[in-house]
C-alpha cells in the first residue's frame, strides 16, 4: 500500500505514475484472445465445445448442455428466500425507473429555409449480455445489463454465462427469470463473446455486447468492436474515497474494501486532509480484512494497489480526482456539493457520508457498469442509449433546395467532387 502526500517533494512524480498505471491485460492476453476469436469464427460450435471443456470443464453435448431453460430460471426464482426475492424485485424496479428516464425523444421540425430535419431513435435488434460465472457471479450485473436493454426496446436478449463444471449460479438464474430472459447459453470467456459477435451454429449473432468480465472478456470485446457495438472495455474495479476526519474510520475502511474484494487487480484510493485519520483507516482496513471471506483477494488488492493520499486541504481533491478519473468517487464529507462542483471526470459519484458506493451496485438505480482505467474522461456508464442508435433524416422541396443547393454545389466543386455538384445542380431551376 502506498502513502503519498502533496507535501512530499516527489509527489507529482509518484502521482503521475499512479495515474498512468492501467492494471489491464498484457500482450499475452491479447494474443490468446486473437487465437480464440479465430477458432470460433472458423469452426463455430466445434470450437465452443472444445474451449468450454478446456476452460470450464463442462461438456456441451446436447440441448440441455448448451442451454439454461426458462423452467430452470423460474425454479431458482421461486426457491429464493422471500427477503432475497424482494431485494431483487426492489433493485429491478429502481433500475427500470432510472433507465426509463434516459430514453431520448425523436425530433422532427422544419427550419427557416423550409428544410425538414430530424432524427429517430430505434433499438438494436439483438443484444448479447455477458454475465460472469467464475470468480464473480453477480445477479446484479444481469439486472444492470438486461433492464436498460429492455427499456430501450431490444426484442432479442441473449445471455451467455460460464457454468464451471456444469454448475449454475441460482441467483443469476433467478435474476434472468425476473427479467423474462429466455435465451441463456452456458458458455463464457472470449469464446462466448466471439459466438455472440460472429454467430456459431445454433447461436445467432447480435448487434451489441455488454457486460463485465475478466481480462479475456474485455480484450475480446475490444478486438470485436466494429463487428458489434460494445458498452466499453472495462478493466479492474476502482474506488476513490474523498473523506475528512469527521468520518468513522471503520466506515471508510469498509468502503475501500468493498472494491478491493472484487479482484486482486482492483484499486482503492483514499484522499484525506488528516494524517491521523489516514492511519486509523489503514489500521481498520487491516482489521476488517481479516474478517472477510474474501480476505485473500481484498488483501492482495490493497497491498498491491491501495493508496492513501493526504492533502493540506480537501479543496485540492477534485483536481487530483479529475486526473484519476475513477470508476467510483465517494465524497464522504458533510457538504459534498462544493467538491462535486469541481469534479469533471468520474464514472459515478456518491454524495455524502451516508451514500456508500455499495448501494449503487445494487438498489440505487443508476448503472453499476462504469468506465474504468481513466476512461471516465470520455466515457459514461451503461445506459438505455447503449442499446439504441439514432437515424437522422432530411426532406425538402424545390424551394428549399433552391435556397441551400448552390452552397452545396460550391463546396462539392471546391472538394473536387463534380458528381456531387451535378446531382444537386440538375435539380435546380
Condensed to tens digits (0 to 9), the pLDDT of residues 171-220 reads 999 999 999 999 999 999 999 999 999 999 999 999 999 998 888 999 99
Per-residue pLDDT tens digits for 212-243: 888 899 999 999 999 999 999 888 999 999 99
Look at residues 204, 230, 256 and tell me which one is the last residue of a structural domain: 230
The pLDDT assigned to 235 comes to 87
Do residues 220 and 100 both lie within one domain?
yes
Instruction: Tell me the three state secondary structure of residue 383.
Output: coil
Which one of the listed residues 39, 183, 282, 327 is annotated catalytic? Answer: 327
Q: What is the pLDDT of residues 135-184, one digit of tens each?
A: 567 899 999 999 999 999 999 999 999 998 888 889 999 999 999 999 99
- Judge whether 60 and 186 are in contact, CB under 8 Å: yes
Burial class (CB in 10 A: 0-12, 13-18, 19+), 324: buried
Note whether 347 and 419 are same-domain residues: no
Residue 369 lies in a domain: no
CB crowding 23-59: b at 16 or more within 10 Å, else e: bbbeeebbebbeebbebbbeebeebbbebbeebbebe
What pLDDT does 23 receive? Answer: 73
Among 177, 262, 305, 328, the active-site one is 328
Q: Is-contact 400 114, C-beta < 8 A?
A: yes
List CB contacts of 22: < 8 A, sequence separation 6 or more.
Answer: 235, 373, 374
Question: What is the count of structural domains for the chain?
Answer: 3
Shared domain for 200 and 219, answered yes or no, is: yes
pLDDT attached to residue 230: 97
268, three cell numbers = 482503492
Q: Based on the domain organization, do 410 and 325 belong to the same domain?
A: no
Residue 278 has pLDDT above 70, yes or no: yes
CA-wise closest residue to 332 among 273, 262, 267: 273
244 shares a domain with 211: no
328 SS3 class? strand
Going by C-alpha positions, the residue among 3, 38, 30 that lies closest to residue 18 is 3
* Domain presence at residue 64: yes
Last residue of a domain, one of 208, 230, 252: 230
What pLDDT score does 214 carry? 87
CA distance 39 to 274: 55
Who contacts 317 (Cβ-Cβ below 8 Å, separation ≥6)?
242, 271, 311, 339
- Alpha carbon distance 168, 174 (integer Å): 11
Same domain, 401 and 359: no
Per-residue model confidence (pLDDT) at position 152: 98
The answer to whether 328 is a known catalytic residue is yes
Residue 413's domain comprises: 396-425
175 and 249 housed in the same domain: no
Confirm whether 384 is domain-assigned: no
Flag whether 101 is in a domain: yes
Q: Is residue 33 in a domain?
A: yes
- Identify whether 353 is part of a domain: yes
CB contact at 8 A, 260 and 297: yes
Strand partners, 330: 241, 350
Cα dihedral value 192, 217, 212, 187, nearest 10: 20
Model pLDDT, residue 25: 64
Do 167 and 245 have their domain in common?
no
Last residue of a domain, one of 313, 340, 364: 364
Q: Are 41 and 174 in a shared domain?
A: yes
Query: Three-state SS for 123?
Result: strand
Measured CA to CA, the distance from residue 347 to residue 345 in angstroms comes to: 7
Domain with residue 307: its CATH number is: 3.40.50.1980
- The CA-CA-CA angle for residues 277, 281, 285, to 5°, reads 170
Residue 189's alpha-carbon distances to 114, 204, 219, 221, in angstroms, are 53, 17, 10, 11
**118: nearest Cα among 386, 388, 384, 390:** 390
354 Cβ contact list (under 8 Å, min separation 6): none
Whole-angstrom Cα distance, residue 400 to residue 342?
46
Spatial distance between the Cα atoms of 160 and 17, rounded to a whole number of angstroms: 37
CA dihedral (318, 319, 322, 323) in degrees, to 10, reads: -140
Local confidence band at 32 (pLDDT 50, 70, 90 cut-offs):
very high
Neighbours of 393 (CB within 10 A): 12
Residue 382 resides in a domain: no
Sheet containing strand 116-123, strands side by side: 107-110, 116-123, 388-395
Residue 424 pLDDT > 60, yes or no? yes
300-304: long-range contacts (C-beta < 8 A, 24 or more apart)? Answer: 300/264, 301/259, 301/260, 301/261, 301/262, 301/263, 301/264, 301/265, 301/266, 301/267, 301/268, 302/1, 302/256, 302/257, 302/260, 302/268, 303/1, 304/264, 304/265
373 lies in some domain: no
At 79, give phi and psi (nearest 5°). Answer: -85, -10
Do 209 and 141 sit in the same domain of this protein? yes
Find the helix packing angle between 249-260 and 295-305, rounded to 10°. Answer: 100
In this structure, the answer to whether residues 109 and 35 fall within a common structural domain is yes
pLDDT at 136: 61
pLDDT band at 120 (very low <50, low <70, confident <90, very high): very high
CA–CA gap between residue 280 and residue 276 (Å, rounded): 6
In this structure, the answer to whether residues 65 and 192 fall within a common structural domain is: yes
Number of neighbouring beta carbons within 10 Å of residue 427: 12
CA pair distance 415, 75, nearest whole angstrom: 65
Amino acid at each position: 500500500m502506498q502513502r503519498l502526500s502533496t507535501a512530499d517533494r516527489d509527489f507529482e512524480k509518484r502521482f503521475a505514475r499512479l495515474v498512468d498505471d492501467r492494471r489491464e491485460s498484457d500482450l499475452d492476453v491479447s494474443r490468446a484472445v486473437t487465437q480464440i476469436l479465430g477458432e470460433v469464427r472458423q469452426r463455430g460450435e466445434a470450437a465452443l465445445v472444445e474451449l468450454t471443456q478446456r476452460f470450464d470443464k463442462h461438456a456441451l453435448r446436447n440441448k440441455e448442455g448448451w442451454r439454461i431453460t426458462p423452467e430452470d430460471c423460474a425454479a431458482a426464482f421461486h426457491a429464493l428466500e422471500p427477503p432475497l426475492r424482494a431485494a431483487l424485485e426492489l433493485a429491478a424496479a429502481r433500475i427500470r425507473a432510472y433507465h426509463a428516464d434516459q430514453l431520448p425523444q425523436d425530433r422532427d421540425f422544419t427550419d427557416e429555409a423550409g428544410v425538414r430535419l430530424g432524427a429517430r431513435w430505434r433499438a438494436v435488434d439483438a443484444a448479447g449480455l455477458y454475465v460472469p460465472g467464475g470468480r464473480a457471479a453477480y445477479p446484479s450485473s444481469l439486472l444492470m445489463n438486461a433492464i436498460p436493454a429492455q427499456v430501450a426496446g431490444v426484442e432479442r436478449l441473449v445471455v451467455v454465462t460460464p457454468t464451471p463444471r456444469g454448475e449454475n449460479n441460482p441467483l443469476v438464474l433467478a435474476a434472468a427469470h425476473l427479467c423474462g430472459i429466455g435465451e441463456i447459453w452456458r458458455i463464457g470467456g472470449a469464446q462466448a463473446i466471439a459466438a455472440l459477435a460472429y454467430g456459431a451454429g445454433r447461436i445467432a449473432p447480435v448487434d451489441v455486447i455488454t457486460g463485465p468480465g475478466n481480462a479475456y472478456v474485455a480484450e475480446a470485446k475490444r478486438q470485436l468492436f466494429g463487428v458489434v457495438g460494445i458498452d466499453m472495455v472495462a478493466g479492474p474495479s476502482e474506488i476513490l474515497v474523498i473523506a475528512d476526519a469527521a468520518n468513522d474510520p471503520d466506515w471508510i475502511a469498509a468502503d475501500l474494501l468493498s472494491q478491493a474484494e472484487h479482484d486482486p487487480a482492483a484499486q482503492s484510493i483514499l484522499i484525506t486532509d488528516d494524517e491521523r485519520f489516514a492511519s486509523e483507516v489503514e489500521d481498520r482496513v487491516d482489521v476488517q480484512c481479516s474478517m472477510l471471506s474474501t480476505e485473500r483477494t481484498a488483501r492482495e488488492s490493497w497491498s498491491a494497489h491501495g493508496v492513501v493520499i493526504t492533502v493540506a486541504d480537501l479543496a485540492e481533491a477534485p483536481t487530483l480526482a479529475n486526473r484519476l478519473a475513477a470508476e467510483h468517487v465517494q465524497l464522504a464529507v458533510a457538504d459534498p456539493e462544493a467538491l462535486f462542483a469541481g469534479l469533471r471526470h468520474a464514472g459515478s459519484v456518491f454524495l455524502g457520508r451516508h451514500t456508500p458506493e455499495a448501494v449503487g451496485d445494487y438498489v440505487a438505480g443508476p448503472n453499476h457498469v462504469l468506465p474504468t482505467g481513466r476512461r471516465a474522461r470520455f466515457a459514461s456508464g451503461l445506459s438505455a442509449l447503449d442499446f439504441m442508435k439514432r437515424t437522422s433524416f432530411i426532406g425538402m422541396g424545390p424551394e428549399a433546395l433552391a435556397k441551400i443547393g448552390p452552397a452545396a454545389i460550391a463546396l462539392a466543386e471546391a472538394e473536387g467532387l463534380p458528381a456531387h455538384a451535378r446531382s444537386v445542380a440538375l435539380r435546380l431551376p
